[in-house]
Structure 1
Amino acid sequence: MPLDQIPDDKEMSFLDHLEELRWHIIRSLIAIVIFAIAAFIAKDFVVGTVILGPSRTDFWTYTKLCELADLIRTPALCIDTLSFELVSRKLSSQFMTHVSVSFIVGLIIGFPYLFWEIWRFIRPGLHPKERKASRGATFSVSVLFILGVLFGYFVIAPISVRFFATYQVDPSLQNLFDLSSYISTVTMIVFGSGILFQLPVIVYFLTKAGIVSSSLMKSYRKHAIIVILILGAVITPPDPFSQVLIALPLMLLYQLGIVIAKRIEKRESKQNTET
């Protein structure tokens, strides 16, 4: 029986909790495997179009940057060449890469369902006020994750690929990137961006737990901005537009975290005053 269907006056043993958690994990893994199998079958689209998209100059982001470069008369902004080739050096490299890509795509697509299963396990253990306060958690996490994945795929990944493709320690060296290295970089950037966009949700729960406060985040805001700008400067071409393109959403997420923390503090202060 699911935890959320068990009466409040009935307590479960530690082993019962482990058994329930096991089934939540099993259902999540089944969903991820199903999505992974679908991704494996749709090889031409998943690998050829989606994963290898940032390695081609006709990628949507490069095209739009070139259009913007023509509009504002900034030729350096246009990415019309990618000076590298992808190679597969091992006998089983393409097959194993295909398998790993399928699993990662399955994990990315199935992440909202994975969180929903975990949340179903955690939610019954919360107090009624905590359940009410955390209503819509699955929707918020899913939306932020999707936005992060899109930002990572259409912004960070192509700019990072461009940076590594043009970086040379000596002009005599040619860039021949291994297929598995390229794919692992792109997929980790995309998945990592989805996780990074969970910052407002993390701040929400840390504030509710009393670990983080709006004053603490404000005091470290300058440090966070410096770190974000350094990150943007490292992974983007040497032009201000690309750096701002990377840094601005991260700054907005940090500021949103401050706003969320402040609202929670006001709400809890009001409740304490009324009681």
Structure 2
Amino acid sequence: MTILITGSTGLVGSRLLQRLLEAGYDCRAMVRGGRPKPAGAHAVEGDLFDTESLARAVEGVTAIIHLAAVFRTGDEALIWKSNFDGARNLMAAASAHAPHARFILASTSNVYDKSQARPGCESDAVAPTQAYPASKVAAERALCESGLTWTVVRFPFVYGDGDGHLEELPAHLLSANWHPAMRMSTIHHRDIATAMVLALDGKFDGHVVNIADDVPASMLDLIALSRGEMTASARPLAEPWAMQVDTALARSLGFRPTIRTVFHAAEQQLL
């Protein structure tokens, strides 16, 4: 099995790539010209807006894991161009040059409505207004209609492996106005790999799938784990299910997180 991975030098991609290599997969990492090439993988220069390079990148692959995305910017046009147009270009290249390849798209749990009446479920109607989740929903729909063998994996808050993501939370306390009792679904990098192996094996074919640790963590606990400080509060929590996802479908398809909670990760020194 030859796997093409986009976004292989990013926060998620770099860690996933190494785990797949260690598991014995033949990995092809698509990198833009002039960017560092990941060790251990066959690097191929490519750009989501260069059709010739995409054709070379997908040729002969049996699976594509599309992780490349833009979200930490106020430039909404760039977000839409990268996450929607770029994804469609890669789908078109796969359809033309690797039509039997399995296409796995990384998406986000931010697609769910914060005022939802329960943890976000894959069958829920989604219509986010922010550019990043909206562009991801558009890419999901394009993939479902592409004719390819497809899977969409929605990630919640990603942490672990010293990525610094958890440590960034205290800096957002004032602007985000988080309630300390708000609970958030999380996923360790190790279990992104757990889910992706299942997807590569075809267990998630034709599904949009939420993945997450066993138990969501409260914001009060997450801030404490990141060595920040947050004032406790007993005021009512207006949106009790915001940022939480239902993982029943993933579990029915064989997913079991190896890192059960953020506390388990801390105990094992895997933060």
Superposition TM-score, scaled by structure 1 size = 0.28
**Structure with the larger helix share:** 1
Please identify the structure whose Cα radius of gyration is greater: 1
- Structure with more relative contact order (C-alpha pairs < 8 Å, separation 6 or more): 1
TM-score by length of 2: 0.28
Structure having the larger proportion of residues in strand: 2
